[in-house]
Structure 1
Amino acid sequence: MTAARLRLAPSERRQQILEAAQTLYATRPYDEVSTAELAQAAGVTRGLINHYFGDKRELFLAAMRASVLMPEQALPGLDGKPLEERARLTMSWILDAATTYGEAWVNASGAANLHGSSDIQAVVDEADDRAARLVLDALGLPDDAELRARLRPAASLTKSVCREWLQHGTFTRDEALNLLTATVLLFVTKETS
């Protein structure tokens, strides 16, 4: 006897499938997760995965995007603070997010290097650009194309530092925070010579 399926609104069913995929991909690479396993984890048929996402690859990309994109909300309590303090508070917030999302975020954010695929790289690039915009906003700096270009490389360093801190234990949180704060300040401060 099989359990009756709960009827959900399309947006809720899509979210249910996405959350199941995020859970599976948090600990295992794309190639090790089958469509049948994704369907079973979500409590749906394989056909529903195809209906909502097209195929396993599109579901993976949606799960990755949900894991690596920073929320588009302003950090509270930064008004009136000097740039250095704003940078430290912002990077602390990012480290807190890395702790919250844990290994899933670290794995997903590094996936572009592992798979070398242009669609995965596009998701990572989108996440890096959004992160640069959010950091500029938190620092009280204009959303300037040159400043965003200067900050995007900091995203790669941030991911690497988080991997070292969270997965390898080679940095303490304070060491990671100091390094990332100094880096962001270096990248957004134009040299005057």
Structure 2
Amino acid sequence: MTSPAPTRAYRRLSVEERQRQLKEAALSLFAVRAPDEVSLDDVAEAAGVSRPLVYRYFPGGKQQLYEAALRSAADELEQCFAEPPEGPLTQRLANALDRYLAFVDQHDAGFSALLQGGSVVETSRTTAIVDEVRRTAAEHILAHLEVVGARGPRLRMTVRMWITSVEAASLIWLDEEKQPPLDELRDWLVEQFMAVLVASAGRDPQTAEAVRGALALETADGPAGSLARRVLPVVSDAAHLL
């Protein structure tokens, strides 16, 4: 007499929990494999569920699941730059980057999938999801600069360029086996923003106004003061250019 074959046990989850489970499984797979190599069976196996259950929650198949996974990751990233308008600008940026880089660290494959398309064929919807993250981050940062009136193209471009550099640095950090340490990467990115903002201020009165307002809130022992002490001696060596 043989024992009956064991049946696969499913943990009972709420609709929201099950959808989140499937989206996380899909995002991790799409981040490292080409779309033709990932099936819904693969997603089901990664999530520990049956293929019909995946279709139950995502009847549109793999593309629908991928877009839902991107949207979930994007929603979390968009909130990273939501920081109260209090204290020095460098501290606000550091707080925002702590959340952003923590997401990168904890969802490395998913972050790569979000910004690099995860090898899935891009659609207007997936492109819009990624662009929305960038636009939201830019709006949060521009709000912190407290510029009076409409924000000019040079200031907007400066902020958007920095956001692009944060994305690139995060991807390179993952490729470099998460080195340097996160706090060092965070401080470096904050300093880069202040440096590029000051450089743009030399060409744009509106950016110069934003820089003056931001520096007025900084302290000598803060990131801006530390950056100035390290950079000014280097710049002073080029006094003959003045």
Q: Which runs of 5+ in 2 are unaligned?
A: 1-5, 207-242
Matched, 1:125 2:131: yes
Q: Which residue of 2 aligns with 1:62?
A: 68
1:179 to 182, 189, 192: 192
Q: Which residue of 2 aligns with 1:38?
A: 43
Distance in 2 of aligned mates of 1:112 and 1:158: 19
Q: Which residue of 1 aligns with 2:22?
A: 17
Letter of the 1:41 counterpart: A
Distance in 1 of aligned mates of 2:150 and 2:119: 25
Q: Which residue of 1 aligns with 2:168?
A: 160
How far off is 1:171 after superposition? 7.8
Matched, 1:2 2:15: no
| Residues 171 and 44 (structure 1), Cα distance of their counterparts in 2 relative to 1, 3 Å cut | closer
Q: Which residue of 2 aligns with 1:104?
A: 110
Distance in 2 of aligned mates of 1:135 and 1:39: 39
Letter of the 2:204 counterpart: E
Letter of the 1:38 counterpart: V
Please say which of residues 159-168 and 113-122 is displaced more in the overlay.
113-122
- Report Cα offsets for 1:64-87 as digits up to 9, x if no partner: 2223441536436x61x2334433
2:101 to 95, 101, 105: 95
**Normalised by the size of structure 2, how large is the TM-score?**
0.60
Output the aligned Cα RMSD: 3.8
Distance in 1 of aligned mates of 2:130 and 2:202: 25
How far off is 1:16 after superposition? 2.1
Instruction: Give the share of equivalent positions with the same residue, in percent.
Output: 28
Query: Which is higher, the Rg of structure 1 or of structure 2?
Result: 2
3-state secondary structure, aligned to 1:75: coil
| Residues 189 and 101 (structure 1), Cα distance of their counterparts in 2 relative to 1, 3 Å cut | farther
Structure 1: 4+ residue segments shifted above 6 A: 184-190
Letter of the 1:11 counterpart: E
- Report Cα offsets for 1:25-62 as digits up to 9, x if no partner: 34334343211111222233323323322210111112
Contact persistence 2:74–2:130 (CA under 8 A): yes
Contact persistence 1:64–1:108 (CA under 8 A): yes
3-state secondary structure, aligned to 1:8: coil
